[in-house]
């Protein structure tokens, strides 16, 4: 959609939609963002982001992508107080029966709330004079036919309003999230819905905000991370927020879902493989109710596969590829999708056809899908049409198993694997000679019996006792 005089409509005003709008305004005369909710003047949870009350991390790959689309955004986020947490040195982490050495950080997470990040993003994006927002309205269909989409059908929300109105556009981008109705919209204009790949573990999680009384976090450690695996299916993360509080998220599978009752929530920590989190919770002060969330399936919509699909319609963010939120990839992938959209539209060597641009956006989600779906298909009771593994995947899985055995104790392997997990390096970097030599021939380091209290440095590392005290 090169040239002026064009109008683009983005359905959804969350991260993926706002970033897509900012990219598209460089190629269209105007961009309209359609949002079901009405935005509040201040940062806060909203109904359109049901997981907004839970732990959110912005991976390093997402930070770089955000700065690529909105230069200086990460400086603004840091200035607003979003905590910057170094991995692995700032977090006491347990995975696959091992405590991690707290060696110097090779990557950083931003752990502030989702509402804070979205609020700052809205301020930047909606300040552009060519971007307008229609609040309190939802898209209920597409204009056009199976050959080309020519806009959307809108309906106002609230007060029993049922009147529909057309909004013409040269391009429609579906950024409506994991609840997208695009398959239904496409069917109504005679087009084919994309095939879907799914993996569902039945994982559920619950979150609550606490005040860290006694200063047990913030000095020698900023948080905890107990990572679930096929043999130990309970997870927990405790991370700092921008206002000085901490958010606690528990996870469990079908039949062992974390409860949301006051006493039951704290008691769930007893199921973890070490009492360190439970001991911390006993001294911490709860500040909010516990909120649950159970929509955690991985779903990839394959618009790249053959089918009768119209020009002028794209999908991005969770409307294209939805991940189990427990891996913390969603915001980073939304930003990477925007970079892929920008690059595809700006490529002067190729005509930016709908199919080519959509394939580029989907490709930018590929590594996150391999991580999330690849991990979830190994969990007990996983279901879905993408659960199986191919003959090619088996030797890779064997190699990654050796990576995971060394991840907690070998800084070289750990740094390489973290760069993959945070979407700053490709999966192939794990096969670089320096890493592969340690994976194939290096010994597995001695396991830490108890969680390390201090970051590694000049002083020898000490360890937390079974009481779980940090100070």
What rounded mean pLDDT belongs to the chain?
93
Judge contact between 432 and 438, C-beta under 8 A: no
pLDDT of residue 161: 62
Residues 362-421 pLDDT 10s = 999 999 999 999 999 999 999 999 998 888 788 999 999 999 999 999 999 999 999 999
Position 87 pLDDT exceeds 50: yes
Q: 304 falls in which pLDDT band (50, 70, 90)? A: very high
* 3-class secondary structure per residue, 18-84: HHHHHHHCCCCCEEEEEECCCCCCCCCCCCCCCCCCCCCCECHHHHHHHHHHCCCHHHHHHHCCCCE
Global confidence as pTM:
0.94
Question: For residue 45, what are the CA distances in angstroms to 38, 104, 151, 225, 423?
Answer: 11, 34, 29, 24, 27
Residue 464 pLDDT: 44
Give which of 63, 205, 184, 179 is closest to 121, Cα–Cα: 63
Structure tokens at 343: 């690059």
The domains located in the chain, with CATH, are: 7-56+116-198+296-372 (3.50.50.60), 86-108+200-293 (3.30.70.2450)
Burial of 25 (0-12, 13-18, 19+ CB in 10 A): middle
Mean pLDDT of all residues in 272-288 = 95
The Cα–Cα gap between 268 and 277 comes to 10
Please determine, for residue 465, whether its predicted confidence score (pLDDT) is greater than 70: no
- The answer to whether residues 100 and 418 touch, using CB atoms and an 8 Å cutoff, is no
Q: How confident is the model at residue 360 (pLDDT cuts 50, 70, 90)?
A: very high
For 407-463, write each residue's pLDDT tens digit: 999 999 999 999 999 999 999 999 999 999 999 999 999 989 899 989 997 344 344
pLDDT of 203: 95
Average pLDDT estimate for 48-64: 90
Residue 356: pLDDT over 90: yes
Task: Report the pLDDT value the prediction gives residue 147, as an integer from 0 to 100.
Answer: 97
Across the range 325-338, mean pLDDT stands at: 96
β-pairing, 91-95 vs 223-227, is parallel
């Amino acid at each position: 959609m090169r040239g002026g005089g064009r109008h683009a409509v983005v359905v959804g005003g969350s991260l993926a939609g706002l970033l897509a709008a900012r990219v598209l305004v460089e190629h269209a005369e105007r961009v309209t963002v359609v949002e079901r909710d009405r935005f509040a003047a201040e940062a806060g949870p909203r109904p359109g982001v049901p997981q907004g009350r839970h732990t959110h991390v912005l991976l390093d790959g997402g930070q770089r992508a955000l700065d690529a689309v909105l230069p200086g955004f990460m400086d603004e986020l840091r200035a607003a107080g979003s905590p910057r947490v170094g991995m692995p040195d700032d977090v006491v982490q347990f995975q696959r029966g091992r405590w991690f050495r707290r060696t110097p950080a090779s990557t950083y997470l931003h752990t502030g709330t989702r509402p804070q990040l979205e609020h700052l993003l809205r301020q930047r994006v909606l300040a552009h004079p060519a971007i307008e927002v229609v609040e309190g309205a939802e898209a209920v269909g597409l204009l056009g036919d199976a050959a080309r989409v020519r806009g959307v059908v809108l309906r106002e929300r609230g007060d029993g309003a049922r009147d529909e109105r057309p909004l013409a556009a040269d391009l429609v981008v579906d950024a409506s999230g994991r609840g997208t109705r695009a398959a239904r919209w496409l069917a109504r204009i005679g087009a084919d819905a994309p095939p879907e790949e799914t993996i569902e573990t039945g994982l559920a999680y619950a979150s609550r905000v606490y005040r860290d009384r006694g200063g047990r976090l913030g000095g020698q450690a900023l948080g905890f991370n107990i990572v679930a695996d096929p043999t130990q299916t309970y997870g927990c993360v405790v991370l700092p927020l921008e206002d000085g509080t901490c958010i606690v998220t528990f996870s469990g599978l079908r039949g062992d879902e974390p409860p949301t009752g006051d006493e039951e929530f704290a008691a769930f920590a007893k199921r973890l493989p070490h009492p360190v989190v439970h001991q911390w919770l006993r001294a911490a002060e709860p500040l909010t109710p516990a909120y649950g969330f159970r929509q955690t399936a991985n779903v990839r919509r394959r618009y790249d596969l053959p089918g009768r699909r119209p020009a002028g319609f794209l999908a991005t963010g969770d409307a294209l590829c939805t991940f189990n939120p427990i891996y913390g990839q969603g915001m980073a992938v939304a930003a990477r999708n925007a970079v892929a959209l920008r690059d595809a539209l700006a490529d002067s060597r190729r005509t930016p056809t709908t199919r080519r641009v959509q394939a580029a956006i989907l490709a930018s989600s590929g590594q996150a899908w391999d991580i999330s779906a690849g991990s979830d298909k190994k969990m007990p009771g996983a279901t879905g049409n993408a659960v199986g593994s191919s003959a090619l995947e088996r030797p890779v899985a064997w190699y990654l198993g050796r990576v995971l055995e060394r991840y907690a104790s070998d800084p070289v392997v750990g740094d390489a694997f973290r760069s993959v997990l945070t979407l700053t390096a490709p999966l192939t970097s794990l096969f670089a000679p320096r890493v592969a030599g340690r994976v194939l021939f290096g010994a597995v380091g001695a396991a830490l019996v108890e969680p390390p209290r201090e970051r590694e440095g000049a002083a020898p590392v000490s360890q937390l006792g079974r009481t779980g005290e940090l100070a």
